[in-house]
Structure 1
Amino acid sequence: MNALSNPLSMFEVKGQVALITGASGAFGMVAARVLAGAGCKLVLVAGNQEALDEIAQECRDTGAEVTTINKRPSDEETCNGLVAQAVEAYGRLDILVVASGMNKVALINDMSPETFESVMDANVTQSWLLARAAAGQMKAQGDGGKIVLVSSARGLLGHPAGYTAYCASKAATDGIVKALGCELGPTGITVNAIAPTVFRSPLTAWMFGDDEKAKTVRAGFLARVPKGRLGEPEDLAGPLLFLASRASDFYTGHILYADGGYTAG
């Protein structure tokens, strides 16, 4: 059927196999819920076994098939193994969502080189290794695929409070997305990133509070957000489904800012 006469069909991912790393984290949980609800078969990866089990059961309760792997994508062997386990479980891999990563905040003269390297490794090297492993499998399948990395508005904009490692890592993530978008375009594999600003999560819940510190920090952010509010998990759902489905087949090497207009002004 013509997609223009049945536009919702472009967002259909039912039966596709999705590998999600960092599945117990804020964005990873959003990805798991969205793709489970859309009918994907899920391979959920996280280092926190208890939280991983909880999100996996939540997805199973919606009727989704779920395989869990209690690991962090720490090295080449592990990243290759995660893709191999997804293929072993379901026969193929259609979607990769890299939601694993970290941030460590310190002013530059208070941050050790080892700390800087740990953030770069988690956010850049591991994303590259996972994309590399997934791309190899998708190319072998021969019918394209979707790779979605998680960037940040901080890949484009600086931050005055000790974000040198994080900003550098997300700018590098953007570079990977653009370079791989060019490299893998001819294969039918798209590579894109979602780049949020502050959205509600266990780590940022305090910013949504009513105490004076929260109000002051929130006001500073809201002064730059045309939409006039901070992000909610639901704000990431639509962009993710778009980038994971054939609706985005002509979009690659793209950084999609889920930021309420923060980076526009």
Structure 2
Amino acid sequence: MELSGKVAVVTGSGRGLGLAYARALGAAGASVVVNDVDEQAVADAVSAVQAAGGKAVGVTAAVGSTEAAEALIAAAVEHFGRLDVLVTNAGILRDKVLWKMSDDDFDDVVRVHLRGTFTCARAAAVRMREQGEGGRIVLVGSPAGQRGNFGQTNYAAAKAGIVAMARTWAMELARADITVNAVIPVAATEMTRTIPAFAPAIEEAERTGEPLPRWMRRGEGLGTVDDVTGLVTYLASDASAGVTGQAIGLGGDRLALWAHPKEKAHAFQDGGWSADDIAASWAAGVGAEPETFGIPAPRPPAGA
């Protein structure tokens, strides 16, 4: 995929998935603004993008504020003359069950993930609309935002909100030829390596350099961070001009399109529904096939 002449900003790109996205965009020919809260991570990321064949500059900042967002977009314009792509990857975790989660635990995660996505996308949209040549905004969601996840009230809520913003902005920015999509990545990261069913296989793959086993790459849709980069590169490219308002998953060997929420079942009753009416009909009517919730537990094959 060719991105020569494109300029991209990737938030939270000092390590992990964000760094993989920035490297891949650079390897495809884009000039990249990398970002992290750690100055050394920023410097290392700049070097990594340059080693991959791209141009890069770094901005050390905590994503969330309007000032940080505007600094990132300004860096793209100052160093490379324009902005074509925004990837909002920055995020933190503060996992706790509901009754133990503090106000700060909730607010910190929402500020970085949800507010940071909003402020960066707003700044990018302003610049892209001024340029008048369209653009690509790629938001980063999570399976937790699609299904919920134990101990992640803050993270799951923020990631669900991010996908909702993608759908909304796809409508608002369509006339400006700016596409907005959410990616739902699944990769071996510091978080997933702590899952007992995954940890031994991840450790073995890292030790030997061999790919993760087929049951993980296909059955669980879990691979390396580099496995996800093809989707981000595609969504950053001219080839994806007709794709917007979508939540698209990638992990290992599995590429997936997530459904938007929609009515699954409905029923009518003349005069409306009382509480007693609902109670009497629920199990055999609208509620006959309730939805599941939570990320399904991994299912390694016997002996894995």
Give the shorter-chain TM-score range: 0.7 to 0.9
CA 67–224 in structure 1, closer or farther in 2 if over 3 Å, else same: closer
SS of residue matched to 1:178:
helix
Which segments of 5 or more consecutive residues in structure 2 lack a partner in the other structure? 205-213, 260-295, 297-304
TM-score, length-normalised on structure 2?
Answer: 0.74
Q: 2:147 pairs with 154, 157, 166, which one?
A: 157
The residue identity in structure 2 corresponding to 1:251 is: V
1:166 corresponds to which of 132, 136, 155 = 155
**2:257 is the counterpart of 1:238:** no
One-letter amino acid of the structure 1 residue matched with residue 181 of structure 2: N
Distance 1:205 1:240, change over 3 A: same
Q: Give the distance between the partners of 2:55 and 2:85, measured in 1 at CA.
A: 15
4+ aligned runs moved over 3 Å, structure 1: 202-209, 222-226, 259-265
CA contact (8 A) 2:216 2:222 kept: no
Aligned to 1:65, which of 45, 51, 55?
Answer: 55
The residue aligned with 1:81 is 71
Partner of 2:184: 195
Counterpart for residue 121 of structure 1: 111
Whole-Å separation in 1 of the counterparts to 2:25 and 2:3: 8
Q: Distance in 2 between matches of 1:165 and 1:224?
A: 27
| 8 Å CA contact retained: 1:225, 1:261 | no
CA RMSD of aligned residues (A): 2.4
Counterpart Cα distance in 2 of 1:63 and 1:37: 5
For 1:43, which of 33, 57, 69 is the aligned residue?
33
Match of 1:204 among 192, 215, 220: 192
> Is residue 145–residue 190 contact of structure 1 (8 Å, CA) maintained in 2?
yes
User: For residues 94-148 of structure 1, what are the alpha-carbon distances to aligned partners after superposition, in whole Å with 9 as ceiling and x for unaligned?
Assistant: 1111110112110100001221111111110110000000000000000100111
Offset of 1:193 from its aligned partner? 1.1
How many angstroms apart in 2 are the aligned matches of 1:252 and 1:38? 21
Distance in 1 (CA, whole Å) between partners of 2:72 and 2:181 is 20
Per-residue CA distance 1:66-102 (angstroms, 9 max, x = gap): 1111112231122112211210111100111111011
Give the partner amino acid of 1:187: A
Name which of structure 1's ranges 38-47 and 199-208 shifts more when overlaid on structure 2: 199-208
Secondary structure of 2:147's aligned partner: coil
Larger CA deviation: 12-21 vs 223-232: 223-232
What is the identity percentage for the equivalent residue pairs of Structure 1 and Structure 2? 32
Change in CA separation of 1:121 and 1:14 when aligned onto 2, cut-off 3 Å: same
Indicate whether 1:176 and 2:168 are aligned.
no
Q: Aligned-pair distance for 1:231?
A: 2.2
- Kindly indicate which of the two structures has a greater share of residues assigned to helix: 1
Aligned mates of 2:86, 2:255 — CA distance in 1: 27
Tell me if structure 2 keeps the 8 A contact 1:177–1:253: yes
Query: Are the equivalent residues in 1 in contact too, given 2:64–2:117 (CA < 8 A)?
Result: no
Moved more, 227-236 or 169-178: 227-236
**1:215-247 deviation digits (Å, cap 9, x = unpaired):** xxxxxxx99985356221132111111110011
Instruction: Trace 1:99-138 onto structure 2 (pairs within 5 A).
Output: 99-138=89-128
Greater mean alpha carbon deviation, residues 131-140 or residues 80-89: 80-89
Question: Using the alignment, how far apart are the partners of 1:101 and 1:138 within structure 2?
Answer: 24
* Greater Rg over alpha carbons, structure: 2
Name the structure 1 match of 2:239.
Answer: 247
Q: Residues 228, 48 of structure 1: CA spacing in aligned structure 2 closer, same or farther, 3 A cutoff?
A: same
Which amino acid counterpart does residue 225 of structure 2 have in structure 1? P
1:98 to 85, 88, 97: 88
TM-aligned CA deviation for residue 186 of structure 1:
1.1
For structure 1, list consecutive stretches of 5 or more residues without a partner in the other structure.
Answer: 1-10, 215-221
Structure 2 CA distance, aligned partners of 1:194 and 1:200? 16
